[in-house]
Amino acid sequence: MDNAFADLLEANEKYAATFEEGGFDGIARAGVAVITCMDSRIEPLRMLGLNLGDAKILRTPGGRITPDALTGCILGTHVLGVDRILVVPHTRCAMASGDDEAIASKVEAETGVNIHGALLGASTRQRDALHYDVELLRSHPLIGKRAVVGGFMYDVDSGKLNPIE
């Protein structure tokens, strides 16, 4: 276990040695919340020209508005200064490559592990899912009046964020 994280802890030592950004609160300084995918090709702050402290970042498989992401949006808009919310799925997302059954079958084929029946939230109808999630936030009684909500598709090959909703 110790060895599994050694390289990361070593890197953190260097990070902390020159860290000079402590001491401020958790308010989103740019008033921004981003809900996007867990995909490793996405850098939520950098792609928006934002820095540490500027935004709340909520990452879920596929960038879907899961119950936890919804909770984050409610807290963000009420106590953390969020007044702009970006919902950002992306191109070539595994969660848009099939439905839950297809993803479960892929997991089973690759690992032999059966996760059929798990609620994954996968769908090939990615644009429809984005529309649904944006409407969910806009119409939510605790969010819609406190924040502007936009839906965007992030292109992992060009780095471009395309407004959709």
| Known binding-site residue numbers for Zn(2+) | 37, 39, 90, 93
- 129 in contact with Zn ion (CB under 5 A): no
Q: Which stretch binds Zn ion (CB under 5 A): 27-35, 67-75, 89-97, 149-157?
A: 89-97
Nearest distance from C-beta of residue 93 to Zn ion, angstroms: 3
Q: With respect to Zn ion, which residue has the nearer C-beta, 139 or 162?
A: 162
Rounded to the nearest 10 degrees, the angle between the axes of helix 126-138 and helix 67-79 is 40
Pairwise CA distance, residues 15 & 100, whole Å: 39
- 37 in contact with Zn ion (CB under 5 A): yes
Secondary structure letter of residue 105 according to DSSP: H
Q: Which stretch binds Zn ion (CB under 5 A): 93-101, 109-117, 136-144, 148-156?
A: 93-101
Q: With respect to Zn ion, which residue has the nearer C-beta, 39 or 133?
A: 39
Pairwise CA distance, residues 99 & 64, whole Å: 14
28, 31, 34, 39: which one binds Zn ion (CB under 5 A): 39
Residue 57, H or E segment:
strand 55-60
Q: Which stretch binds Zn ion (CB under 5 A): 2-10, 85-93, 97-105, 127-135?
A: 85-93
Q: With respect to Zn ion, which residue has the nearer C-beta, 97 or 105?
A: 97
Pairwise CA distance, residues 123 & 26, whole Å: 34
Residue 128, H or E segment:
helix 126-138
- 133 in contact with Zn ion (CB under 5 A): no
Residue 5, H or E segment:
helix 2-17
- 88 in contact with Zn ion (CB under 5 A): no
- 122 in contact with Zn ion (CB under 5 A): no
Residues 114/117/121/124 CA torsion (nearest 10 deg)? 80
Take residue 60 and report the two structure tokens written for it.
């879920």
Instruction: Give the interface with Zn ion as residue ranges (CB under 5 A).
Output: 37, 39, 93
